[in-house]
Structure 1
Amino acid sequence: MAISIQNQQKKVKIDLRRIRQLVRRLLLAVECADKEISLLFVDDAKITEINQRYLGRNYPTNVISFSFLEGEFSGVNPDLLGDIVISADTALRDAESGGLPLEDELDFLIIHGLLHILGYDHEKENDEEREQMQKKEQELFFLLHDYPLEL
């Protein structure tokens, strides 16, 4: 299991050791313990740039995932799951507006990003898929924290 974590922002203190342990537990829970994944924490300016470049959306977002399990080159290295990019700025704002601890918000975004990498989708107009992803998010969050995430 290879987990690469980079923190390229300065506004929010990120406990990289805690994040690494969390990702390790998540990968075990989704039966991907032998896979590789990377996480990148950035600010709003950087995630806006990524969002514009790859998704054509010119605004910050909380998390963007890039799955290496899909697409033309998905078979090149089947051990690579993908990349998760999180805006620490947006996560902090979302946590404050939702009355959540920042750690819970970051954990949720990691779960959310990982599920996207694994093929879960909430953006299509399919209520069943959206509900399936939300149920899995809740299940994984509870597994990590032993209390439900208040959405």
Structure 2
Amino acid sequence: MSIEIHQKSARWSDIDLEAIAGMAGRATFERLGLDAEAVSLAILATDDAEIAELNAGFRGKPVPTNVLSWPATDLAAAEPGGLPAMPRADVFGEIELGDVAISYDTCAREAKAAGKPVSDHVTHLIVHGLLHLLGYDHIRDPDATLMQGCEVEILGKLGIDDPYWEKDGA
């Protein structure tokens, strides 16, 4: 597995993003039956200012967000709730997935609000971003159900609680 990390914000130095991305990647690819060693992708570890610019440029939303993804290939299922297509290796046996950007500022703020460790939330967002690269989405309800189910299963295997479960009184 080749994960190229571009750290653009010094705040990321508090987190071992390389280890988290590797762990999240292996768990995600194992769950989906992909050979992790054949996969390559890039992660931009940035801040709210830069991710807001990216969000404005690519989605027309000039506000910060936690994670953005740019898949190399559109693998989305045509039917709501359908499984995305599996990525194909190129002539060299490599699977180029695409790029993910993640904002430390938004991630840390969300983790604090949820009362969970930043590293757990970063892991969740990396898994979420990887699933987007692999054709999963959450726009249509059946797709959201499928994607969230995968996320919960992958995170559970990593010892991370269901991020969609709300505590009583929350």
* TM-score, with structure 2 as normaliser: 0.77
SS at match of 2:15: coil
Letter in structure 1 aligned against 2:44: L
Aligned residue in 2 for 1:101:
117
How large is the Cα RMSD of the aligned pairs? 2.2
Runs of 5+ consecutive residues of structure 1 not aligned to the other structure = none
Runs of 5+ consecutive residues of structure 2 not aligned to the other structure = 76-86, 165-170
Counterpart Cα distance in 2 of 1:26 and 1:122: 17
Alpha carbons of structure 1 residues 46 and 148: separation in structure 2 relative to 1, 3 Å: same
Indicate the structure whose relative CO is greater, using CA pairs within 8 Å and at least 6 residues apart.
2
Aligned residue in 2 for 1:119:
135
Measured after TM superposition, the shift of residue 20 of structure 1 is: 4.2
User: Which structure 1 residue ranges, 4+ long, deviate > 2 Å from structure 2?
Assistant: 23-30, 147-151
Measured after TM superposition, the shift of residue 24 of structure 1 is: 3.4
Superposition map of 1:1-151 within 5 A: 1-12=1-12, 13-22=14-23, 23-30=25-32, 31-33=34-36, 34-70=38-74, 79-123=95-139, 126-145=140-159, 147-151=160-164
SS at match of 1:11: helix
* TM-score, with structure 1 as normaliser: 0.86
Counterpart Cα distance in 1 of 2:35 and 2:100: 15
Measured after TM superposition, the shift of residue 29 of structure 1 is: 3.3
Count of residue pairs brought into register by the alignment? 146
Q: Which has the larger radius of gyration?
A: 2
Counterpart Cα distance in 2 of 1:82 and 1:32: 16
Aligned residue in 1 for 2:80:
none
